[in-house]
A and B are shown apart, each in its own frame.
Chain A
Amino acid sequence: KAGVTQTPRYLIKTRGQQVTLSCSPISGHRSVSWYQQTPGQGLQFLFEYFSETQRNKGNFPGRFSGRQFSNSRSEMNVSTLELGDSALYLCASSPLAGGPPHYEQYFGPGTRLTVT
């Protein structure tokens, strides 16, 4: 089985722009979660989608949004980029249907976003 894939792998944007990141889960997985990883804050949970619905959300401003398509692929969008949004954005998929969504997750390689 192919693993979780994320595109693009690297991205450079300027302040004020918006960005869309994509994640394709492992085939058959219906849950997709997004995380932001920075040296200062560590790994932080952004949100989780299951069957095209946002099921859980972390403490991030409304500039961070996402969606999931019927094929379980997910996109994350950040509008009005700030310098502090520079981070590694990780996507994780899980096969679970219902119940705790955050174990036995399979992470993608991440998208490294740099905001200048």
Chain B
Amino acid sequence: EDKVVQSPLSLVVHEGDTVTLNCSYEVTNFRSLLWYKQEKKAPTFLFMLTSSGIEKKSGRLSSILDKKELFSILNITATQTGDSAVYLCAVMYSGGGADGLTFGKGTHLIIQP
């Protein structure tokens, strides 16, 4: 059964700290890995990763994929209270002539002032 596991499940840090969120996966016919930030209701897209070793960066956020070891990390540097959210990892895969998408349970990140 395909699965996506995120760790830690929750994390509390102070403003200014750097955090690393982890996502490991086991899927057949991997296509891409996606990161989302969910604050109140709807998730917002952060990154899509398809190739190993190529870092995607957006401001203080960055992410990288390791397709050999089947994991991805999301880094947030100089954290701010506005970074508090649930960070979701999702993996897209191909199978049976169609694509599928499996989400992890998320990492609940709390940034304390």
Using a CB–CB distance below 8 Å, which chain A residues touch chain B?
4, 42-45, 48, 55-58, 88, 90, 92, 100-110
Give the docked Cα–Cα distance between A45 and B92 (Å): 11
Q: Is the interface of B mostly helix, strand, loop or mixed?
A: strand
- Interface membership of B44, Cβ < 8 A: yes
In the complex with contacts A43-B43, A100-B32, A58-B100 CB distance below 8 A: yes
Q: Are A103 and B34 in contact (CB under 8 A)?
A: yes
Contact across chains for B98 and A57 when beta carbons are under 8 A apart: yes
> Number of contacts between A and B (CB, 8 Å)?
61
CB neighbours (8 Å) of B104 from chain A are 42
Other A-B pairs, 18, CB within 8 Å; known A42-B106, A103-B32: A4-B42, A42-B104, A43-B90, A45-B100, A45-B101, A45-B102, A48-B99, A90-B42, A100-B32, A100-B48, A100-B92, A101-B99, A102-B92, A103-B34, A104-B45, A106-B45, A107-B44, A109-B41
Contact: A102 with B34, CB < 8 Å? yes
A102 and B42 contact, CB distance less than 8 A: no
Residues in chain A near residue B92, CB distance under 8 A: 100, 102
Q: Which residue of the partner chain B has the closest CB to A94?
A: B45
- Chain A to chain B: the 8 pairs with minimum beta-carbon distance, closest first: A107-B42, A103-B48, A45-B101, A43-B103, A42-B105, A56-B98, A56-B99, A102-B101
A contact residues around B45 at 8 Å (CB):
103-106
Q: Which of A56, A100, A103, A108 contacts B42 (CB 8 A)?
A: A108
Among the interface residues A42, A45, A101, which one has the most CB atoms of the partner chain B within 10 A?
A42
A41 closest partner in B (C-beta): B105
On chain B, the residues within 8 Å of A108 by CB distance are: 42
Asked if B31 is an interface residue, CB under 8 A from chain A, the answer is: yes
